[in-house]
């Protein structure tokens, strides 16, 4: 007698939308850095000015993390992601259209503004996904869900270089940015039709799927108040994770934003060659984030949350830093790309631990808490982009990579102080039960 096939759980269709939003957000956000080789001479901009555009995105993205998480926690993922898509579309389309109307300083400031607006639009993407994950997935799958969604982010970063280079050759850099805005618009409309905030709201979720959720997943946050938000922001583990994430993301932004220009300027490859070779580091990062989520969930089941979440960052972040030190000392371009890829793999393998660890510490206040986490993460970019822009502009790539090594070691060391289960007893007493 054949065994009846189980239908795909609705949570995985919801996850597919989240994956696509993460992927397309990174196509949008990396487009300026990839198109910089054309933008600089055509608009008479310097590499430092391109760096300021990236910095504007990162500052606004960072500043809006907590507000984005709070907004998502209050109004739900369905409305929040719709707004993300609409505002992101406007910002992406406005950037290539600005040179049609403006020139000189006015043009530069306008492009900075729209890169900042793009940062505002994308700020809720990952904090709100963490809340979606907390509501829709069993706790034993939190790290893998976060890791695979981060894989989508890195896949977007991998697809962007060759895609934008090829589109630029056919339509110019302005046409390329206009074309990449269309898939995001379609995704936004589809999400507005299909998406829901919680499993209980979706008409196709079965009782069997609801029964698979753990008590941690079913926890509903009370309306968020200022005192509770302050307590979340001051929580010891949330702060430790956020500071560690500052340091880890210094490394991430260095690898994600500057690998393409490193291959062009230091290794003297053409834009087309660099566009295709620059695919490899983010692919390595995507594989790392997905595998890291799976590995972290396995370690948590075997050794408990405290040791299980900390193992991967403590081991792999120093490895990522050491690999960066070797990039400028290898003569082969192929080996240099392989080392960059391995370093990005070792960096992004830690994503599941950061996000699931914060979710475990915050529970029903996941969106607000991961907003704090990702504020820290993007502070790493705010700190790092001007430093790397200056050092790379002076052709001091070795010094730029060495700063990444130092931040990686500090990020790993802070995990020695993290205990995501620290609030279990307090939370259990508050609801009159035992720790989960």
Does residue 287 lie within any of the structural domains?
yes
Q: What pLDDT is stored for residue 274 in this prediction?
A: 59
pLDDT at residue number 2: 47
Q: How many domains does the chain divide into?
A: 1
- Structural domain contains residue 362: yes
Residue 221 belongs to some domain of the structure: no
Q: Is residue 39 part of a domain?
A: yes
> What b/e string do you get for 106-134 counting C-beta neighbours within 10 Å, with b at 16 or more?
ebbebbbbbbbbbbbbbbbbbbbbbbbbb
Task: Give domain status of residue 157, yes or no.
Answer: yes
**pTM to 2 decimal places:** 0.80
Q: Identify whether 309 is part of a domain.
A: yes
pLDDT exceeds cutoff 50 at 332: yes
CATH number at 400 reads 1.20.1250.20
pLDDT tens digits along 54-64: 888 988 998 99
**Quick one: tokens of 68?**
């984005």
Rounded to whole angstroms, the Cα distance separating 434 from 34 reads 52
Average pLDDT over residues 103-132: 91
| Residue-level pLDDT at 222 | 60
Q: Which residues contact 163 (CB under 8 A, 6 or more apart)?
A: 27, 176, 180
Do the domain assignments include residue 427?
no
172-193 mean pLDDT? 93
The domain in which residue 408 lies consists of 10-201+208-213+228-421
User: Per-residue confidence at 5, pLDDT binned at 50, 70, 90?
Assistant: low
Quick check: 128 and 77 in contact, CB under 8 A?
A: yes
How far apart are alpha carbons 367 and 362 in whole angstroms? 9
Q: Is residue 396 part of a domain?
A: yes
């Amino acid at each position: 007698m054949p065994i009846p096939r189980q239908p795909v759980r609705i949570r995985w269709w919801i996850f597919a939308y989240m994956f696509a939003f993460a992927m397309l957000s990174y196509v949008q956000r990396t487009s300026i850095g990839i198109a910089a080789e054309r933008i600089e001479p055509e608009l008479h901009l310097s590499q430092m000015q391109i760096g300021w555009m990236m910095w504007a995105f990162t500052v606004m993205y960072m500043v809006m993390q907590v507000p984005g998480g709070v907004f998502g926690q209050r109004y739900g993922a369905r409305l929040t992601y719709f707004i993300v898509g609409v505002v992101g579309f406007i910002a992406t389309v406005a950037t290539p259209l600005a040179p049609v109307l403006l020139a000189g300083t006015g043009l530069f400031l306008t492009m900075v503004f729209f890169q900042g607006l793009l940062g505002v639009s994308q700020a809720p993407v990952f904090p709100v996904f963490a809340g979606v994950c907390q509501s829709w997935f069993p706790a034993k799958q939190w790290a893998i869900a976060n890791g695979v969604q981060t894989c989508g982010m890195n896949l977007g970063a991998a697809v962007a270089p060759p895609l934008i280079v090829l589109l630029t050759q056919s339509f110019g850099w302005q046409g390329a940015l206009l074309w990449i805005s269309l898939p995001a618009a379609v995704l936004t409309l589809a999400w507005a039709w299909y998406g829901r905030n919680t499993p209980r709201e979706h008409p196709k979720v079965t009782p069997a799927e609801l029964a698979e959720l753990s008590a941690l997943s079913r926890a509903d946050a009370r309306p968020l108040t200022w005192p509770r938000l302050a307590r979340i922001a001051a929580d010891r583990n949330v702060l430790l994770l956020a500071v560690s994430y500052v340091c880890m993301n210094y490394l991430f932004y260095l690898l994600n934003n500057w690998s393409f220009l490193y291959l062009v300027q230091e290794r003297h490859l053409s834009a087309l060659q660099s566009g295709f070779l620059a695919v490899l580091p983010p692919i390595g990062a995507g594989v790392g984030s997905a595998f890291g989520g799976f590995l972290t969930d396995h370690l948590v089941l075997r050794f408990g949350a405290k040791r299980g979440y900390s193992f991967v960052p403590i081991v792999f972040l120093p490895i990522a830093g050491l690999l960066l030190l070797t990039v400028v000392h290898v003569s082969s371009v192929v080996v240099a790309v392989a080392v960059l890829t391995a370093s990005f793999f070792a960096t992004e393998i830690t994503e599941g631990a950061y996000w699931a660890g914060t979710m475990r510490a915050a529970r029903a206040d996941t969106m607000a808490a991961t907003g704090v986490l990702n504020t820290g993460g993007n502070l790493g970019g705010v700190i790092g982009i001007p430093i790397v822009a200056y050092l790379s502009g002076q052709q001091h790539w070795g010094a730029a990579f060495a700063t990444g090594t130092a931040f990686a070691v500090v990020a790993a060391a802070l995990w020695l102080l993290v205990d995501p289960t620290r609030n279990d007893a307090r939370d259990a007493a508050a609801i009159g039960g035992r720790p989960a």
